[in-house]
């Protein structure tokens, strides 16, 4: 009690701050959990701190007009497109996250990032205090230009704009090309954040059913005819959430349809480094005429070092650079220097090779562990971290997700990915996040 | 010639890449400038590279549908709100930038940033690969909460959202509160990027004349009546571009008017650390009810480490966090760890004290050097890097800016800051960027 009071008096903890969890506090102070529970309870009784059930303890005394409970994790909120993101981003240590969209930190290229930081801290050349140029750090754009060429995408450095993230890359493209009320085609299912992003742009999203080889072309053609969309946003390499890969035949037909309807395609390529064999890229087939490719390294290198890119026609890049300045000013020069350093670190290639092997192994293992529960994969993806799975007996995945959350397991229910809400009995599993028996125990218990 | 050809063959330089400048290339290879000029000329003749006058040399051979000249700095483009930003961000070494909006890198806290990088590279605690939490790194939000309190702004850490930059902070607020077609009040003059940002939101900006003590209250009241705005965006501490400071009396009246008209005020506080004596903060008077405060450390600490913040009502913070996830996903955890480390580095306070003294000195010096040219400050700002100055004889500052650019001097012409285009004969000077006699020589020559 004295320690907490002291921290509040010294303004190390201010009104509204969350206190360390009981467990962490007990460890830190070398006392038992029950001692901390008692101390916290007494402080609650004194009104020094407040308890928000399920969300921890907070310092009282804020003169804020609204309750701070508002910003605590909304466990009861509806399972909307942002539900999975917030649950995963807010997860406390010890929470299991088979539904989350990224690798555990132990799988990431932390050693490489640390090396890059050391190099930057030592070096005299890196500029640690200045804004980046409008397009972003040239050395990184050169590296990206060479990388893209290995996928057949010809994008000189002048046609590449660095952004703060892959999400910001798509956001800038939407700002450039969409008017409020425009229609945008997305895959059904697709990455749930596309729905939230398009809503933020007041665009109307229309879903096109996805097959194991790409979008359903008849449905795509019908959507072009019926909705006169402006954009189509998709992943070609490793589709999120299904893990499907675009076939060359569908890529070719898709581009012909897009040309005839004069729409722009945004190809989100953030899983490129997870492929064993490169899938066809729409940006390569099309020569960056009506395809815009975006990407980032949050999934493979580090999600803490924010940097994405847009490869597009020069006139669009120029306008996108203006929009970037207007809405987020100069880019994060430091992040791009770190990434340039890490990407040219010879061990990155080996690191990703190991990650790909590990994922292949984990995909098989998770399929085997889910089988006895009656949970079956929609397809066996050739690469990546995702398995798109169907629950037995048409169960409601959102109900299951809410029940599992009570046991500290965050799932990704299918309808969060589906505009038509036709994925009620599906779940997206991240196999890299399933390396704990409790995932399957909790599923078995709740199913 | 062989060196360039080799780099192109090895794809170290790809189609569209800019070659090193003649001077840099000569230094790198230890040959004379005229040798490089001749080699470049011959490569142009062979069609291997192309020359864009004023913008350097580029590798040819791109199959891109549009000319790359499009992405070279647009020296001839109209002096629109983005002109100064792009000129300054694209400036080559040796360019003088009295018009730019930030300090020279030698004035920044580079030693502190380098120390923070080293600490992070060593430490085991920092998470270098994971996403940040939805609100951002808690330790930094605690630091910001304590800082804000010194200005009388009570914002617990739960009411602070970290963003990628100050600009992104305003952008998120606009996304939350504006519908296309809404009206927003800005100061006239104001930071020119507000115009570009509001245009990106399809909002209508209306200017309120700024006086040396804040906005003109009669004009403000009239604008509320005539335009039914939704927002007012302003700087209270050190106004950009004038250096003016809000008086307590105007702050109080302004808030009363805002309350009566039920509008929201965005207080952009990015120059806080440049003040000797804290100015009144609207966010403090109002208790974060209808005032949203935003800020960043790009001006004082480092522009390469991108991180801004929003302090606002808890319900708004919650919605803003959703919007941040939808449009740029997790925050830059690395940047916030570096800033937390640098801000708690004891030498930061001393560093800024020295910067403030140096700026006070530079303001006097620049006023003295401009006087013989007939250029006079509109007011003597008590702090900050800006002087808002009037040209003699009602000269057109945009013409002057274009002429000075030919001599490698980037100016900030007044009408870029003025919605009413009533600042035709004004220039904003950044006194920290005027420590070179050539600034005044070129001005004297061109005037």
Q: What is the ipTM of this complex?
A: 0.79
Asked whether the beta carbons of residue B89 and residue A117 sit closer than 8 angstroms, the reply is no
The confidence band for B369, taking pLDDT boundaries of 50, 70 and 90, is very high
For B67, the closest chain A residue by CA position comes to A314
CA distances from B441 to B93, B183, B363, B444 (A): 19, 43, 18, 5
Residue A76 placed within a domain: no
- In A, minimum Cα distance to B334 occurs at A304
- A-chain CB neighbours of B100 within 8 Å are none
Which residue of A7, A8, A71 to mutate against B (max B Cβ within 10 Å)?
A71
More confident residue, B372 or A12: B372
- B156·A315 Cβ contact <8 A: no
User: Quick one: which H or E segment has residue A339?
Assistant: helix A333-343
Residue B292, beta-bridge partner list:
B266
Question: What is the count of structural domains for chain B?
Answer: 3
- Write the burial class of residue B308 (CB in 10 Å: 0-12 exposed, 13-18 middle, 19+ buried): buried
Helix, coil or strand: residue A410: coil
CATH number of the domain at B139, please: 3.40.640.10
- Please tell me the predicted confidence (pLDDT) of residue A228: 95
State whether A164 and A272 are in the same domain.
Answer: yes
- Is the confidence at residue B345, as pLDDT, over 90? no
Q: How far apart are CA B178 and CA B266, in angstroms?
A: 12
Cβ neighbours for A347, distance < 8 A, ≥ 6 positions apart: A111, A112
pLDDT in single tens digits along all 447 residues of chain A: 878 877 776 666 777 777 888 888 888 888 888 888 888 887 877 777 877 766 678 787 533 222 222 222 333 345 466 777 877 888 777 889 999 999 998 999 999 999 999 988 887 666 788 888 889 999 999 999 999 999 999 999 999 999 989 999 999 999 999 988 999 999 999 998 999 899 889 899 999 999 999 999 999 999 999 999 999 999 988 999 999 999 999 999 999 999 999 999 999 999 999 999 888 999 999 999 999 999 999 898 888 888 999 999 999 998 999 899 888 887 778 899 999 999 988 889 999 999 999 999 999 999 999 999 999 999 999 999 999 999 999 999 999 999 999 999 999 999 999 999 999 999 999 999 999 999 999 999 998
pLDDT digits (tens, 9 = 90+) for B2-49: 788 777 766 667 777 778 888 888 888 888 888 888 888 878 777 778
Give yes or no for residue B63 having a pLDDT over 50. no
Top residue of B310, B326, B351, B355 to mutate, by most chain A CBs within 10 Å, is B326
Are residue A240 and residue A318 in the same domain, yes or no? Answer: yes
ω into residue B189 within 30 of 0, thus cis?
Answer: yes
Is the predicted pLDDT of residue B79 greater than 70, yes or no? no
Last residue of a domain, one of A297, A315, A343: A343
Same domain, A356 and A320: no
Contact B326 A65 (CB under 8 A): no
Q: Is residue B447 predicted with pLDDT exceeding 60?
A: yes
Residue closest to B262 by CA, chosen among B296, B294, B286, B237: B286
Residues of A in contact with B64 (CB under 8 A): 154, 156, 159, 288, 313-314
Predicted pLDDT at A69 = 27
Residues A97, A6, single domain; the answer is no
CATH of the domain at B40: 1.10.10.10
**Cβ neighbours of B142 in A, within 8 Å:** 12-14, 17
Higher pLDDT, B383 or A23: B383
A45 and A143 share a domain?
Answer: no
Query: Which residue from A17, A133, A164 is facing B328, i.e. has the nearest CB?
Result: A164
* CATH code of the domain in which B394 resides: 3.90.1150.10
- Is B32 within 8 Å of B26 (Cβ atoms)? yes
- Which residues between 268 and 327 in chain B have a beta carbon less than 8 angstroms from any beta carbon of chain A? 287-289, 298, 301-306, 313-315, 317-318, 321-323, 325-327
Question: Which residue is it, tokens 């939805």?
Answer: B134
- B76 in a structural domain: no
Single out the residue in A343, A361, A396 at which a domain terminates.
A343
Nearest CA to CA, how far is A26 from chain B (Å)?
Answer: 19
Over residues B278-317, the pLDDT tens digits come to 889 999 999 999 999 999 998 988 888 889 999 999 999 9
Q: Is A432 on the interface with B (CB under 8 A)?
A: no
For residue B385, pLDDT over 50 is answered with: yes
Buried b (16+ CB within 10 A) or exposed e, A37-50: eebbeebeeeebbb
Q: How far is A65 from chain B (nearest CA, A)?
A: 7
Q: Assess if residue A78 is contained within a domain.
A: no
Chain B residue with minimum CA distance to A191 = B326
State the Cα–Cα distance between residues B310 and A401, nearest whole angstrom. 32
Quote the domain boundaries for residue A440: 83-102+349-446
Q: Are A208 and A321 within one domain?
A: yes
**If you average pLDDT over every residue of chain B, what do you get?**
88
Quote the percentage of chain B above a pLDDT of 90: 62
What pLDDT, on a 0 to 100 scale, did the predictor assign at position A63? 30
Does B278 map to a domain? Answer: yes
Q: For B97-116, what is each residue's pLDDT tens digit?
A: 999 999 998 999 999 999 99
pLDDT over 90 (residue B129): no
- Nearest-CA distance B17 → chain A (Å): 6
Say which residue, A398 or B55, is predicted with more confidence. Answer: A398
Instruction: Let me know if residue A143 belongs to a domain.
Output: yes
Q: Are residues B213 and B313 in the same domain?
A: yes
Residues, chain B: 447
Q: Are B240 and B267 in contact (CB under 8 A)?
A: no
A130 and A260 housed in the same domain: yes
What 3-state DSSP class applies to A253?
helix
């Amino acid at each position: 009690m004295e320690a907490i009071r002291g921290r509040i008096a010294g303004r190390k903890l201010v009104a509204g701050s969350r206190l360390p969890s009981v467990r962490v506090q007990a460890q830190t102070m070398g006392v038992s959990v029950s001692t901390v529970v008692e101390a916290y309870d007494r402080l609650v009784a004194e009104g020094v701190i407040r308890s928000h059930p399920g969300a921890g303890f907070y310092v009282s005394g804020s003169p804020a007009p609204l309750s701070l409970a508002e910003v605590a994790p909304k466990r009861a909120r509806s399972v909307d497109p942002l539900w999975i993101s917030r649950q995963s981003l807010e997860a406390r240590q010890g929470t299991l996250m088979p539904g989350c969209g990224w690798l555990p930190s132990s799988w990431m290229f932390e050693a490489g990032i640390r090396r890059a930081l050391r190099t930057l801290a030592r070096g005299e050349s890196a500029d640690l205090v200045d804004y980046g140029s409008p397009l972003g750090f040239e050395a990184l754009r050169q590296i990206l230009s060479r990388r893209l060429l290995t996928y057949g995408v010809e994008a000189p450095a002048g046609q590449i704009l660095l952004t703060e993230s892959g999400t910001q890359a798509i956001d800038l493209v939407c700002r450039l090309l969409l008017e409020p009320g425009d229609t945008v085609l997305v895959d059904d299912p697709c990455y749930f954040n596309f729905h939230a992003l398009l809503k933020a742009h007041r665009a109307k999203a229309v879903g096109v059913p996805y097959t194991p080889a790409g979008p359903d072309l008849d449905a795509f053609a019908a959507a072009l005819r019926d909705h006169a969309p402006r954009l189509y946003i998709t992943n070609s390499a490793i589709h999120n959430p299904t893990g499907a890969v675009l076939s060359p035949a569908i890529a070719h037909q898709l581009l012909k349809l897009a040309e005839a309807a004069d729409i722009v395609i945004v190809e989100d390529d953030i899983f490129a480094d997870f492929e064993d064999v490169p899938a066809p890229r729409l940006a390569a087939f099309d020569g960056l005429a009506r395809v815009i490719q975006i990407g980032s390294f949050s999934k493979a290198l580090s999600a803490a070092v924010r940097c994405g890119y847009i490869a597009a026609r020069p006139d669009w890049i120029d306008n996108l650079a203006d929009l970037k300045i207007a809405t987020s000013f100069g880019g994060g020069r430091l992040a791009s220097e770190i990434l340039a350093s890490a990407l040219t670190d010879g061990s990155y290639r080996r690191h990703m090779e190991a990650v790909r092997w590990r994922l292949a192994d984990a995909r098989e293992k998770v399929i085997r562990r889910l089988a006895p529960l009656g949970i079956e994969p929609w397809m066996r993806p050739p690469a990546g971290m995702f398995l798109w799975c169907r629950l037995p007996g048409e169960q409601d995945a959102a109900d299951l997700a809410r029940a599992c959350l009570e046991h500290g397991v965050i799932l990704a229910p299918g309808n969060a990915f589906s505009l038509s809400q036709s994925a009620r009995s599906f779940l997206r599993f991240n196999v890299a996040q399933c390396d704990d028996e409790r995932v399957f125990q909790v599923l078995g218990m709740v199913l």
